Amino acid sequence: MGVASPQPPGLYSMKTDFLIVGAGFSGAVLAERLASQRGKQVVVLDSRSHIGGNAYDHYDAHGIQVHRYGPHIFHTTLQDVIDYLHPFTQWRPYVHKVLSQIQGQLLPFPINRTTINRLYNTRFSSDEEVRSYIDSVKTPLSEVRNAEEKILSSAGSHLYELFFKEYTSKQWGLDPKQICASVTARIPLRFNEDDRYFTDPHQGVPKEGYTALFQRLLDHPNITVVLGESYKRFHTKISFDHLIYTGSIDEYFDYCYGPLPYRSMQFAFVNHPLPEFQSAATINYPDRRPYTRVTEFKKITGQQAPSTTLCYEFPRAAQSPADRFYPIPNRTNEALYRKYAEKAKKLSSVTFCGRLGDYKYYNMDHAIYRALSLYRNKLSLI
């Protein structure tokens, strides 16, 4: 991997087969496939000073391995993705557990039988008892149209008010009525005592970290990485046959239909001179305080150290293209994206993908799967 920052001698006079914008999972996987399987020359460009996109991790000033853009726990049901990553990383098995602070208690989340029993001082001992209780309190709706109605119809108004309303409003900067039902549909309601956040058969984190994984993905003589350069500044200085664009699709088209709305996040890292600080890796705060959750990274990485670093997440509106984290899922925004997608179909030498290119929330495994599918079905034929 040749890492160029910002301009290696002679780079701008070169020609390459593929220019890939973005060094996150989508871009890195496609670069690796095209270089190793097709022998293509690939330049990977990223405006940030590092590879790895939002999965980037590093050691802070206290020697604690942290995820700069919030906790990233890898989980998947996709064996193809696990098989693909196998040569590039070993895994630290890790099962993520989350607690939610509700009325002075730390309760398991997603909501399960333990949550219900502790919250309401009940003694339900079977799935059927919990299911019957939930059926008695949920709001019957003939149609579920938004994120609020999804929870009302599956869990009722009280659990919605306690666990979802403020958290969802903070996270997205909108009333839950203004967001697609898919947002809250991603969170299951359990009737048993399973307190895992994810139930996928494959769960963990890269043993040496995400950045080490990306370094191996991009470690090929046919791949050149250019950091700290924007596509707009760079693309006229290099000749390429095909562009893979994982940046924001509306930015590529100069916002000709207007900007697509995104949500962003500000992260505050706090180190404590203690071996551990909180009782779970992540604690949610679905109340009016300005942050949504707090994560203690040592509980994820298994690192042993005399101090510990926490990450506080403060949702905010995206302030620049580089600040875009989450596409905001509602019908208005999806209709606007479709206009850009129709325009993109007319470009035979440009491929859009990734969370920003597809205007779609992807977990890491689905971003990888999407990239592998693009390679197999389209890019391997170029």
322 pLDDT band (50/70/90 cuts)? Answer: confident
172 pLDDT band (50/70/90 cuts)? Answer: very high
Over residues 89-104, mean pLDDT? 97
Residues 6+ apart with CB under 8 A from 49: 5, 227, 228
Domains of the chain: 2-51+218-259+327-381 (3.40.50.720), 98-185 (no CATH)
6 preceded by a cis bond (ω within 30 of 0)? yes
Q: Is the pLDDT of residue 294 over 90?
A: yes
Q: What is the pLDDT of residue 320?
A: 84
**Dist CA 299 CA 97 (whole Å):** 10
Q: What is the pLDDT of residue 237?
A: 87
Q: What is the pLDDT of residue 335?
A: 97
**Dist CA 187 CA 163 (whole Å):** 11
Least confident of 55-59, 86-90, 375-379: 375-379
Q: Is the pLDDT of residue 6 over 90?
A: no
Three-state SS at 338: helix
**Dist CA 313 CA 293 (whole Å):** 6
99 pLDDT band (50/70/90 cuts)? Answer: very high
Place of tokens 């008892």: 129
Query: Comparing C-alpha atoms, which of 132, 146, 352 is closest to residue 249?
Result: 352
Place of tokens 């309401």: 120
Check residue 164 and report its DSSP letter: I
CA 375, distance to chain mean position in Å, is 21
Over residues 184-189, mean pLDDT? 92
pTM of the model: 0.94
* Token output for 329: 């899922």
Q: Is the pLDDT of residue 12 over 60?
A: no
9 pLDDT band (50/70/90 cuts)? Answer: very low
Kindly report, residue by residue over 150-161, the tens digit of the pLDDT: 999 999 999 999
Kindly report, residue by residue over 121-145, the tens digit of the pLDDT: 999 999 999 999 999 999 999 999 9
Three-state SS at 13: helix
Q: Please give the mean pLDDT across all residues of the chain.
A: 95
Q: Is the pLDDT of residue 47 over 60?
A: yes
14 pLDDT band (50/70/90 cuts)? Answer: confident
Q: What is the pLDDT of residue 5?
A: 46
Tell me the residue length of the chain: 382
State residue 283 phi and psi, 5-degree precision.
-120, 125
3 pLDDT band (50/70/90 cuts)? Answer: very low
Q: What is the pLDDT of residue 1?
A: 52
**Dist CA 163 CA 31 (whole Å):** 41
Query: Comparing C-alpha atoms, which of 279, 307, 311 is closest to residue 295?
Result: 311
**Dist CA 59 CA 8 (whole Å):** 27
**Dist CA 328 CA 335 (whole Å):** 12
Give me the half-sphere count of Cα atoms (radius 13 Å) on the Cβ side of residue 64: 25
Q: Is the pLDDT of residue 319 over 50?
A: yes
